[in-house]
Structure 1
Amino acid sequence: MTQNTNEPTAPAEPTLPADVQALSYEQARAELVEVVQRLEAGGTALEESLALWERGEALATRCEQWLDGARQRLDAARAAGAPGEDAR
């Protein structure tokens, strides 16, 4: 039996630097704000701007991971009929 190589595959989870992976949501968001401010201010060399952009992308991904996890926890709590939730 041959494997169909045209089947779509799930996108791979991006590999984040270990220091970014260790950040809390609040830490990642605060650093992301700083990165955006530095990029918007301009005046940085091309290499530094690229490094800031890449760092910002990693920080944004980390924030998304935290938010996705929080969303999943809320969905699970709702599905389980969390205490205090009104039955409508």
Structure 2
Amino acid sequence: MAENQEVPEEIAALSFEEALQELEKIVEKLDSGQVDLDQSIDIYSRGSALKQHCEGKLRNAQERVDKIVNKNGSLSTQPANVE
């Protein structure tokens, strides 16, 4: 899944925590070697969408924090490295 593709609605509806938990389960399945090739490809694709969703949530949270800090004056921010 390319980074600029839209995240499926069912994934977009997940909270960050839910998406991260599902992504962790996918990684465990892939690491176990107990899934066949076709299933591996399917769950890898879903994992990619979950990763994209989590990164978007983190970027949004960082932007919100930056706005709060900037509104309060003297504190400065540094860009977050979410990649």
TM value normalised by structure 2: 0.81
Unmatched runs of 5 consecutive residues or more in structure 2 = 76-83
- Give the match for residue 51 of structure 1: 42
Question: Equivalent of 2:24, from 33, 55, 59?
Answer: 33
- Mark the structure with the bigger radius of gyration: 1
Count of residue pairs the alignment pairs up: 74
Query: Could you tell which deviates more after superposition, 14-23 or 26-35?
Result: 14-23
Unmatched runs of 5 consecutive residues or more in structure 1 = 1-11
Which is richer in helix?
2
TM value normalised by structure 1: 0.76
Question: How many angstroms apart in 2 are the aligned matches of 1:52 and 1:45?
Answer: 11
Identity %: 32
